Structure 1
Amino acid sequence: MALNRRTGLLTAALITIAACTGAAPAQSTPERGGGSGPRLTDPRPCPGLTDVTCSDLTVPLDRGGKQPGTLKLQVAAGNNTDAPRGVLLLLTGGPGQPGLPYYKSLAERLPEVVKQYRLVMIDQRGTGGTAIDCPDLQKEVGSSDTAVPGKAAVGACARILGGTRNLYTTSDTVADFEDLRRALKAPKMTLDGVSYGTFTAAQYGLTHPQRTARLVLDSVVPSDGAGALYEDSLHHTRSVLRTACAEQSCGYDPAKDLATVVRRDGNGVDVFSMLVIASIIDPKLDNPNFKFLDAIHRSAAGDTEPLDQLIDGFTSPDGTPPELFSSGLHAATLCADTRFPWGGAAAPVEGREKALRKAVQRIKPSYVWPFERATAGDQGIPQTCLNWPRSRPNPAPPHTTLTMPVLLLQGDRDLSTPMRWAQDLAAKTPRGELALIEGAGHSVQRRSDAGAKAAQEFLLR
C-alpha cells in the first residue's frame, strides 16, 4: 500500500529539544542611533492571502559578531495594525519548518482571534528562504525526527555548514523574535507555538517576560528541555494502543503483541517511527485504510506483511524539499539544544557512544515496554548527534519560570510530545492551564475542533 506523509504532516514535525548551559545568550540587535532599531523592509502582497503584507526582517547571521553576514527572514503580518489585543506571533514546528506557508491554514482555525489580534508569522532562520540544504541528509530522513540517517550524511551536512552550525540555536531564533517585535513596534507579543514552536515560545517568555503578554503551547516540549531518548513517548505507547483497542473492541492486547513483534524482528525504531506519525494523522488508530492494531496483531501471529507495508509507507523518506522542512537546520538546532547522555553540544565526539550505551542500560525496561530500551538509543535524535561536531551549546534563558498566563494544549494520544511533558510543565507554571484534549494527537489546534476552541477562548479572555 502506498502511504504518504509529506507536506501535510509538517505542521506537526516532531521535536525533542533541550536548553543547555554554556555560552551567553544571543542578544537582539542593539538599538542604533536615533532609535531606528530593526525594520521590516520591501513590503509586498503575500501570495494567496488577503489583508496580509509580506516583508523582510534582516538579522545578523552571528549575533556575537565573529562572522560577518546577515539573514533575510520573511515575515507575514496582518494589515490590522490597530488590533485591540496587539500582536499574535504564530510559531510552527521542527526545528526546520517555515512559517509563511501555514499562515492561512492556522488563521482559519482561529477566526475570532483574527478579529482581535494582528497575526504574524516568520520563516525562522535556516528555514524557508534561508533554508539550510544538506542534500544527503534531506534525502535520507526528510521531515522525520526518529528516522536514522547514515553517518556519512550527517558528516556531509556538518561540513556544508562549517562554523555556521553554531548560529542556529534556539537562543538565536529568540533574539530574531525580539528584533521582530521591535520592528513591529509592539510593546508586547502573545505567542502561540506548536511542537518545537512551544519551546521557542517558552524560551522567548523566559528571556523576555516583560515583553510577553501570554503564551499558547500546543503539543508541549518542556521549557527546560526534554531528553533525547524519548523514554516518555515509548512509555505512553502502551496506553495509546490499549485505549484504541478498548474503543474498537479489538479483543486482544496490542501492547503485548507489539512487544512480541519488536523482540522477534528487531524493528523497534521502525515501529516507533510509524506509530509516532500515526499519532499525528490518525490518533485514535481507527482509520480503516491503515488498520494499525490489526497489522500489529497479525504480525505477532506470524503474518508480517501488513505491518511491513505500513512501516515502509510511513517511514520511507518523504521527499520533502528543504524550503518546506530543512533537515539540516533540524540537525544543527537539535544537536546544539538537546540534553544528551554525553552532555551538551560542546562534549567531545569521542566518548559519546559509550555514554549513550550507559544511559540506555540505566533505563528501566518496564518503563519503555512494549519497546526494548535499545529503541531509545537507536532512534534518530541520538544517532544524528552522536557524530555531529562539537558546537556552541544553546544557552539557558535568564529565567526558569513562565510567569505570564499560559495555556498548555495537549492531545492524550500524542506520541510526538507525550502527555507527561505537558503535565510536568503545567505543574510548575504558576499561571498555567492544562487543556487535555481527549482523542487528539499532535498539533491539536490544527487537527481538533476542541483544541482550536480552547485556544480561542484563552486568547480572547
Structure 2
Amino acid sequence: MTLFTRAGAALATLLTAALCVGSAPAGAAGTSGAPTATATTAVPAATAAPGLTDHRPCPGQPDVTCADLTVPLDRAGAKPGTLKLRTALFGAADAPRGTLLFLTGGPGQPGVPYVARMRERLPRALAEYRLVMIDQRGTGTGAIDCPDLQKQVGSSDTIAPTPDAVRACAELLGEDRNFYTTADTVADLEDLRRALRLSSWTLDGVSYGTFTAAQYALRHPDRVRRLVLDSVVPLNGAGVLYEDAMGHAGWVLRTACREQRCGFDPAKDLARVVRRDGNGVGVFNLLAIASIIDPKLADPRFGILDALHASAGGDRGPLDRLVAGFADPGGEPAGSFSAGLHAATLCADSAWPWGDSAAPPAGREKALARAVRAIRPADVWPFQRETAGAQGIPRTCLPWPSSRPLPAAPDRPLSMPVLLLAGDRDLSTPVKWARQVAAATPHAELVVLPGGGHSTQSRGDGARAAQDFLLR
C-alpha cells in the first residue's frame, strides 16, 4: 500500500487521533429490552468498591502491568451485564506526584496500546508519576465491531457512511446503545480511581480525551489535582457541523503557502475546486488528516498545495488521488479504533440541530437543512456551507435511532489548575475552541503552538509544555 492509501488509517497509529475513532463487548451485540433513560437521568457511582483483577504483564511491555476493571453495562441497574475494561499501570503506586491518568481520543480509540508512546513522550513527568491508561468501554479488546461502518469510515469523523451501515450498527447494539455516553465512561473512571485507592489524581486528555477529562473534572472536582487538555473539545461538546474548522482552513492554507513561497492563493484555489466539483467533504477530510500528520502542509510526498493549485487550473488528477487515498479507511480494525463506539457516543453526547439524541429521526433532516442554511457563507469560506451538513458527523447521527442523551454535567467552571494546548494549524479541534474554554476557566493557562497540529503532545513542544506544567 502507498503512503496515500494508508493516510486514513494513519490516525490510529498516532497518539490520540480524533478523526478526527474486536468483538462486541459482553452483552452489547444483538440484545434488546433495556429501558431508554431520560435526558435528566444521572449516572450513579457504584456502591461497592470496585477492584482490578487478573494482573499480568502487558503484551510486549513486561514492566507494565495490565489488569481488568469490571463495570456494570447499565449503571441504572435495569439491564444486567458487565463490561471488562483493560487497564495498564506503569510506575510505582507511591510515585512522588501521584497518578497520571492519560485519556486517548476518538471516541473509539483504546488506551492501553499507547502506554509505550506516552513513556517516550513524557519521560520527565513519568519519573515522578505513575501512568494509568484504560481501554474505555466499547474500545480495544472489548471494541464494538460494526463491520460495514468500520469498513466505510474507519477512524474518520468527516467521511460520511451510508445510512444502511449506520442502521446496521445501531441494530447490532440494540438498546445497549444507551450505555456508551461519556457519562458512562466518567463513572467507569471513578470506579477505576476507587479501585486504585486514590484520593485524587491528575488527568491528561487529548482530543475527545479532553472532553472525557473535563466531564470527569466537572463531576468530581475534588478528585482532580491538575488537568491537561490537549487539542481541546469545548466543555459542551464539539461543534457538530465543523464551521469553525472549515473557516480556519483558509488561514492554514495561506500560512503554509507563505512559508513555502508557493506563489499562489491556495484558499482561493480550494474555493474554486469545491464549488466546481462538489468535493468539499473529501477535501476537508484531507486537510483535517493533514493537520495531524503534516500540519504545515509541507510534506512533498503529499504536495497538497500544488495539488489544489493544479486542480483549480484544470488538472484534477493529483488532488483527486489525494482525496481518495485519505478517505480510504485502510482496513483499520475495530480494536484499533471502533467506528461503532464513535457513532454511539457522538450521537448520544452531542447537541444537534434537531435537539438531543432522544429526538425522533423523522424530523432531523429538515432541522439539519435549516441549520445549514443559517450558516453565514463567510464563516466557512473557502468551503461551502453545504459541506457542513454533508460531512460524516451529522450524516452518521441522522439515521441513528433515538437513544439516551448525555446527562448534563454540573454548570460550573473547571476549578483546578488547567493547561490547554492547541496547535494553530489544527483542523480537527481548532484553536478557537481552546480559547473559548480558556476564557471560561479561572485557573487556565493556554499554550498555542505555532505550526502545531492536532495532538500536540505527540511532538516535542506540546510534550515539553505538558511536562513543565505537570512538574510544577
State the TM-score bracket (shorter-chain normalisation): over 0.9
Measured in 2, the distance between the counterparts of 1:399 and 1:179 equals: 23
Match of 1:174 in 2: 186
Tell me what 1:436 maps to: 448
CA contact (8 A) 2:8 2:325 kept: no
Q: Secondary structure at the match of 1:351?
A: helix
- 2:233 alignment partner in structure 1: 221
Task: Give yes or no for contact 1:16–1:334 (8 Å, CA) kept in 2.
Answer: no
Q: Which residue of 2 aligns with 1:98?
A: 110
1:48-59 equivalences under 5 Å are 48-59=60-71
SS of structure 2 residue aligned to 1:67: coil
Tell me, in whole angstroms, the C-alpha distance in 1 between the residues paired with 2:154 and 2:9.
10
- The whole-number CA distance in structure 2 between the counterparts of 1:355 and 1:275 is 28
1:449 aligns to 2:460 (yes or no): yes
CA distance in 2, matches of 1:230, 1:396: 22
User: Would you say 1:333 and 2:345 are equivalent positions?
Assistant: yes
Partner of 2:388: 376
Letter in 2 for 1:5: A
Deviation of the 1:397 alpha carbon: 1.1
**Aligned AA (1:453):** R
Q: Which residue, 41, 44, 47 being the options, matches 1:24?
A: 41
Does residue 1:349 correspond to 2:361, yes or no? yes
Q: Is the 1:133–1:328 contact (alpha carbons within 8 Å) kept by the matching residues of 2?
A: yes
SS of aligned partner of 2:202: strand
Partner of 1:426: 438
Count of equivalent residues: 453
Given that 1:12 and 1:280 are in contact with CA atoms closer than 8 Å, whether structure 2 keeps it comes out as no
What is the CA–CA distance in structure 2 between the aligned matches of 1:14 and 1:326, rounded to whole Å?
11
**Cα distance in 1 between the residues matched to 2:43 and 2:444:** 27
Q: Does 1:201 align with 2:213?
A: yes
C-alpha contact (below 8 Å) 1:16/1:226 kept by paired residues: no
Secondary structure, counterpart of 1:75 in structure 2: strand
Residue 13 of structure 1: aligned partner: 17
Mapped pair 1:319 → 2:331:
yes
Residue in 1 that maps onto 2:25: none
TM-fit CA distance, 1:148 = 0.5
Give the conservation status (yes or no) of the 8 Å contact 2:358–2:402: yes
- Cα distance between partner residues in 2 of 1:242 and 1:147: 24
**Residues 263 and 372 in structure 1, CA contact (< 8 A), matched pair in contact too:** yes
Partner-residue secondary structure (3-state), 1:116: coil
Within a 5 Å distance, the mapping from 1:231-310 to structure 2 comes to 231-310=243-322
Distance 1:308 1:79 in 2: 48
The 1:370/1:240 distance shift into structure 2, 3 A limit, reads same
Do the aligned partners of 2:111 and 2:135 also contact (CA within 8 Å) in 1? Answer: yes
Q: Deviations over 1:378-401 (max 9, x none)?
A: 000000000100000001112431
> Is contact 1:221–1:422 with CA below 8 Å preserved after alignment?
yes
Give distance in 2, aligned partners of 1:268 and 1:9: 20
Contact kept, 8 Å, 1:16 with 1:338, in 2: the verdict is no
Structure 1: state its 5+ residue gaps: none
Q: Percent identity?
A: 63
The whole-number CA distance in structure 2 between the counterparts of 1:187 and 1:194 is 23
Question: Which residue type is aligned with residue 420 of structure 1?
Answer: K
- Quote the Cα distance in structure 2 between the aligned partners of 1:317 and 1:288: 22
Aligned-residue offset at 1:16 = 8.0
Letter in 2 for 1:365: P
Alpha carbons 2:150, 2:333 under 8 Å: kept: yes
Q: Deviations over 1:45-103 (max 9, x none)?
A: 11222432110000000001111000010000124011011110011001000001001
TM value normalised by structure 2: 0.94
CA-CA distance at 1:138 after TM superposition = 0.5
Aligned counterparts of 1:174 and 1:27: Cα–Cα separation in 2: 10
Q: Distance in 2 between matches of 1:424 and 1:333?
A: 23
Note if contact 2:348-2:404 (Cα within 8 Å) is conserved in structure 1.
yes
Superposed CA offset, 1:267-307 (max 9, x none)? 00010001100111000000011110000000000000000
CA deviation vs aligned residue, 1:135-194 (integer Å, no higher than 9, x gap): 010011111100100011001000000000000000000000000000011110111001
1:390 match: secondary structure: coil
The letter of the residue matching 1:240 is V
Secondary structure of residue in 2 paired with 1:205: helix
Can you list the C-alpha shifts for 1:302-335, whole angstroms capped at 9, x where unaligned? 0000001111111122211011100000000010
Give, in whole Å, the separation in 2 of the partners of 1:7 and 1:357.
Answer: 31
CA distance in 1, matches of 2:141, 2:44: 23
Match of 1:45 among 24, 49, 57: 57
TM-score (norm 1): 0.96
- Picking from 426, 433, 438, the partner of 1:414 is 426
Q: CA deviation at 1:6?
A: 5.4
In 2, Cα distance between equivalents of 1:75 and 1:356: 39
Structure 2: distance between partners of 1:235 and 1:393: 29
By how many angstroms is 1:129 displaced? 1.6
Q: Which amino acid aligns with 2:340?
A: G
Q: Identify which of 374, 377, 384 aligns with 1:362.
A: 374
Alpha-carbon distance between aligned partners in 2 of 1:15 and 1:228, rounded to the nearest angstrom: 13
One-letter amino acid of the structure 1 residue matched with residue 131 of structure 2: L
User: In structure 2, which of residues 219, 223, 226 is the aligned counterpart of residue 211 of structure 1?
Assistant: 223
Please report the RMSD computed on the Cα atoms of aligned residues, expressed in angstroms: 1.4
| Superposition deviation, residue 2 in structure 1 | 5.0
